[in-house]
Structure 1
Amino acid sequence: MARVVVTLRIMPESPETDLKKLEQKASEKIKAFGCEVGKTEIRPVAFGLKALLLYF
């Protein structure tokens, strides 16, 4: 059986969004689906916005 890596990019609506809370909520949803989050990353996008990337 093959293994697959999925990258989920979450783009918040404003720079004031708490990315740590968002990361926890998204990780809970992914675990409930039956997967395990391997790595998380925060990348700058533009104008102070940052994207949350989850690898699972």
Structure 2
Amino acid sequence: MGKKHRNRTNSPKKNNHIPADQIIAEHNAHAKENSGANRKNGPGHNNELS
């Protein structure tokens, strides 16, 4: 039946820790990126027509 697939026995575990300031910076960047106030066809873009 062949060898069993062992789960990464020889390689060290990856360190996924990210410092808190990078998380805060990324969160703020996403908040600016996803705000639709200045976007073309953003929220309420039809209000000036009526």
TM-score normalised to the size of structure 2?
Answer: 0.33
Greater strand share, structure number: 1
Task: Pick the structure with greater CA Rg.
Answer: 2
